[in-house]
Structure 1
Amino acid sequence: MFLWKSSQNHDENDPSYRDAKVKELRVALGQLSERSSKFCTDACLRRYLEARNWNVDKAKKMLEETLKWRNTYKPEEIRWHEVAHEGETGKVSRANFHDRQGRSVLILRPGKQNTTSGEGNIRHLVYLLENAILNLPEGQEQMVWLIDYTGFSMSTSVSVRTARDIINILQNHYPERLAIAVLYNPPRIFQAFWRAVKYFLDPKTFQKVKFVYPKNKDSVELMRSYFDMENLPKEFGGNATLEYDHEEFSRLMAEDDVKASRYWGFDDRPCHAAEICSGRDIPVQSAVVNGHSKSEVAPEPY
């Protein structure tokens, strides 16, 4: 029995075994629509298999649920002008730096909460998840979350129900996308909220959540292992300055909306890329400043 278990573990780490599982899953899925086929790259199938311990039947069920969700929710069709009002305070934004492995970084600042709409908060976050994936360097499949709890209070926190819905979307429809979630210096009052939501996390996701405190030696070493201190904002123990300029970020998102439209084949569909929450039209060709740079569409963003 022990030898059989060891053999199984060895097989799961064997590239040829994994390639065979990907092919098996693709056959099991059958014919897909054009958009679903574009989503279901080999890298995508590997992530779903990884999330279900390389069980093809379980991965197939999970992936089919995601395809149903995407067909209904249509996350790839969300455009910045539709969610920009949720981002006015910079409560969630894509950082202008990557971690040491070149992964996209999302910065979340729950203390900057500015609306009470659960669906609005979810839709805004889903948009930025899709955007972070769009901007992953070639060969990267995961992103990093940095959560700054400065100014956090129960009055600025999303509801437990909204938090549960966000966790379910992340775990069920973006499996193996999260490398690590850093909860930086959460106040004591956060513990009550954490006790209410941690039970919604599956074991794999739970292990990726790291509580980090500025005066803790192990926490400091963890941050240094993941980030260049010169790029990391002071809010997370680094040396850089974190400044959120909503107008400039909106310009960046407008440009990325054009890239997303082209990738998904929406060139003939108006995406209102120049519309931002300030009410002024900003040309799509506008230069992005303040450290944000243009990124090419990765050949395989999913």
Structure 2
Amino acid sequence: MANPDELGLIQMKEQIQMLGSSTEKYGDPTLERFLIAKSKDPKKAAKMFVEWQQWRKSFVPLGFIPDSEVLPQLECKNIFILKGLSKTGHAVLMVDSGKHSPVKDQNQFKKFAVHIYDKGIASGIKGKEIGNEKFIEIMDLKTLSYKNVDTRAFISGIQILQNYYPERLAKLYLINIPWFFKSVWKLITPFIEKELLNKIMMVSNEKEKKQFIEEVGIEVLPMELGGNAKLVPIQDVQVPQLEC
């Protein structure tokens, strides 16, 4: 007799077929992410999976977003992939929020978000892609000023993450938080689902800083944050292409 998790996968696959799609290219770890995101409900997970497939086909027809399509964002050089994996075994991305300029072309920014997420996930692949790789994101707000604040772009990035990258984010750390950011955060939080909100940690005291350093690891953290690693712009990092 199948256990509850196996039964959930079987039912999800049946539902996906009923919706006119297929799971042929995907292993169970990929499907399990959608099940977890939908509280183990096979019908809801199947619907989310099929919508994800359709979205990837239309929004990411090449299977990836090439640098040439997001050059204005890459020129800011504010997104980095850190060498090595965290102590928890995940790839680590870092964002220097003070170098961000408010976005005018929202569709291009959405492409940039996909570019970042895909590269972050791919940088954590060890050998062959499994399908359940996660990434950690560190958002450094040290040099953030009002002119860099872009709530619309932040919300767009969060919504893409919630809708199309279920269970890909391991943790989001907000560090060096300026005093005015709390008012900005109040505008953003209503758009963040509870499950994702629970993965966001504001590092604002010594205890939280210690936890942050322990979870990521000194060897992976950049020198700017007291670690031993160097910051590498995302465009300078070569990674394997995801199968999705």
Q: Distance in 1 between matches of 2:197 and 2:122?
A: 25
The CA deviation string for residues 185-213 of structure 1, in whole angstroms up to 9 with x for no partner, is 21011112111001111111111110003
Q: How large is the Cα RMSD of the aligned pairs?
A: 2.3
Task: Output the amino acid matched with 2:60.
Answer: K
Q: Determine the structure 2 residue equivalent to 1:163.
A: 154
Change (3 A) 1:112 1:242: farther
Match of 1:121 among 103, 109, 117: 109
- Residue 165 (structure 2) aligns with: 174
Change beyond 3 A, Cα 1:243–1:137? closer
Q: State the alpha-carbon separation in 2 of the partners of residues 251 and 92 from structure 1.
A: 11
CA contact (8 A) 1:148 1:235 kept: no
Gaps of 5+ in 1: 1-14, 265-301
Q: TM-score, normalized by length of structure 1? A: 0.70
Q: Which of residues 212, 222, 230 is equivalent to 2:211?
A: 222
Give, in whole Å, the separation in 1 of the partners of 2:120 and 2:184.
Answer: 26
The answer to whether the Cα contact below 8 Å between 1:95 and 1:105 also exists between their aligned partners in 2 is: yes
Q: Following the alignment from structure 2 to structure 1, what is the Cα–Cα distance between the partners of residues 69 and 112?
A: 9
Amino acid at match of 2:237: L
Q: How many residues align?
A: 235
Alignment of 1:82-97 (within 5 A): 82-97=69-84
Query: 1:28: which partner in 2?
Result: 15
Matching residue within 180, 189, 196 for 2:187: 196
Structural mapping, 1:42-61, within 5 Å: 42-61=28-47
SS in 2 for 1:223: helix
| Alpha-carbon distance change, 241 to 56 in structure 1, aligned in 2, over 3 angstroms | closer
Correspondent of 2:136 among 140, 144, 148: 144
Maintained 8 Å contact 1:92/1:125: no
Gap change, CA 1:114 and 1:240, over 3 Å in 2: farther
Please name the residue that 2:123 is paired with: 135
1:121 and 1:109, CA in 2 relative to 1: closer, same or farther beyond 3 A? Answer: farther
How far the C-alpha of 1:94 sits from its partner, in A, is 1.8
The amino acid across from 1:252 in the alignment is V
Shift of the 77–202 alpha-carbon distance from structure 1 to 2, 3 Å rule, reads same
Bigger shift: residues 184-193 or 109-118:
109-118
The TM-score with structure 2 as length reference comes to 0.86
Amino acid at match of 1:59: A
Q: Equivalent residues in 2 for 1:237-252 (5 A)?
A: 238-240=226-228, 242-244=230-232, 250-252=235-237
Between the aligned partners of 1:241 and 1:96, the Cα distance in structure 2 is: 7
State yes or no: 1:111 paired with 2:103.
no
Compared with structure 1, are the counterparts of its residues 125 and 94 closer, same or farther at alpha carbon in structure 2 (3 Å cutoff)? farther
Q: Is the 8 A contact 1:86 1:115 kept in 2?
A: no
Q: How far did residue 20 of structure 1 move?
A: 2.0
Bigger relative CO (Cα 8 Å, ≥ 6 apart):
2
Q: Percent sequence identity over matched residues?
A: 23
Tell me the distance in 2 between the aligned counterparts of 1:116 and 1:157.
10
**Counterpart in 1 of 2:52?**
66
Provide the rounded CA distance (Å) in 1 between the counterparts of 2:137 and 2:70. Answer: 20
* Contact 1:28–1:60 (Cα < 8 Å) also in 2: yes
The structure having more radius of gyration, on CA atoms, is 1
Please tell me whether the aligned partners of residues 78 and 99 of structure 2 are also in contact (alpha carbons under 8 angstroms): yes
Structure 2 regions of 5+ residues with no counterpart? none
In 2: Cα distance, 1:252 partner to 1:224 partner = 23
Q: Deviations over 1:62-84 (max 9, x none)?
A: 22221222122117231122223
